[in-house]
Amino acid sequence: MAELLNKRIPGLDPSSGITLGMLLAVYNPTNDKTEKISVSEFTTSVSTQNFEWLTDTAYNEDDVVTRSGKWWQAQQAVSANIAPGTDVAYWAEISKSPSGFVFWQAGVFTEDEVFVLYEIAGITYIFRLDNATRPFVSTDFEDEFASGDWEAIGGITVGGGGSISFVDRETPTGAVNGSNDTFVLSDTPQAGSEYVFLNGILQTVTDDYTITGDTIEFVTPPETGDKVRVSFRLTASADFVDKETPTGLINGSNDTFVLSDTPIAGSDHIYLNGILQDSADDYTIAGDTVTFATPPETGDTLKASFRI
């Protein structure tokens, strides 16, 4: 699929809202052209599977069914003939999440192809559900994204807009076979803007890989079955801080670290040993100061990315 970039197409009128008739700016790397794609292309998917509750069927914990126009999730193993809506110990009602050109909502997705919008660091992205399980119960978008359940198609511009271009969660060209260490991107990233993930864990430049132009070389070749994903910017911007090391001792007792600037609210991405931390459970942030619930241990690596 063509990468969607936050890039202006001349001739599109500015707009404050999104409707089915609008066009998106889409960069197609196969022909090196920016194309116009209708919003409606992301709103046409349907459910082809039958998820109706069946009277003679037993269900496992967390299974999802529909009955009488509502959706239900099993709270434990459910024997046959225990109908949803009759016993709260067995079935809990769950929201049906909309798929299409709408912002993500927690709940259950059932369509064969699922697209949602989600805002990260002040940029709105289109995401595709990359997990084939249906129904798919979605509760924490950012955790699911880090686990590979969602594929970022790209940052978008509707009817004109900014000039920063992005490539998101691209699979670089190269064999993942335990011996190949070299992978090629679709374009050359702005220096320092690349985010290289191996099996969902952010890699560290120099320690884990090097990058020259559009080519990434791993210190240790990824093994067969590993997932390599790379996100990066194509243009410079003073509004982004990428993978900085906050100021503070990493010694198992210090829990407070200071950033180089104060992030825009909600734009902070804190990585501990390459794993994205949760702003509610793992740390808090006040101004330019990050306080961890549990102090990082000696030898841990800490990186922070954010917008200012």
Q: 47-98 adopts what CATH topology?
A: Seminal Fluid Protein  PDC-109 (Domain B) (2.10.10)
Report pLDDT for 6. Answer: 40
**pTM for this entry:** 0.46
Report pLDDT for 308. Answer: 80
Partners of 216 in the β-ladder: 183, 211
Domain ranges of the chain: 3-40, 47-98, 107-155, 171-233, 240-307
Report pLDDT for 83. Answer: 95
Taking the chain (308 residues) in consecutive chunks of 10 residues, what is each chunk's mean pLDDT?
38 43 51 56 73 94 92 94 94 89 88 85 77 93 89 58 62 93 90 89 92 95 92 76 92 95 86 86 92 94 88
Report pLDDT for 5. Answer: 40
Q: Write the DSSP assignment of the chain as a string of letters.
A: -PEE-S---TTPPP-SS--TT-EEEEEETTTTEEEEEEGGGGS-----S--B--TT--B-TT-EEEETTEEEEESS-B-TT--TTS-TTTEEEEPBPP-SSSB--SEEE-SSS-EEEEEETTEEEEEEE----SSEEES-HHHHHHTTSEEEEEE--BSS-----EEEEE--BS--SSS--EEE-SSPPPTT--EEEETTEE--BTTTEEEETTEEEESSPPPTT--EEEEEESS--TTEEEEE--BS--SSS--EEE-SSPPPTT--EEEETTEEPPTTTTEEEETTEEEESSPPPTT--EEEEEE-
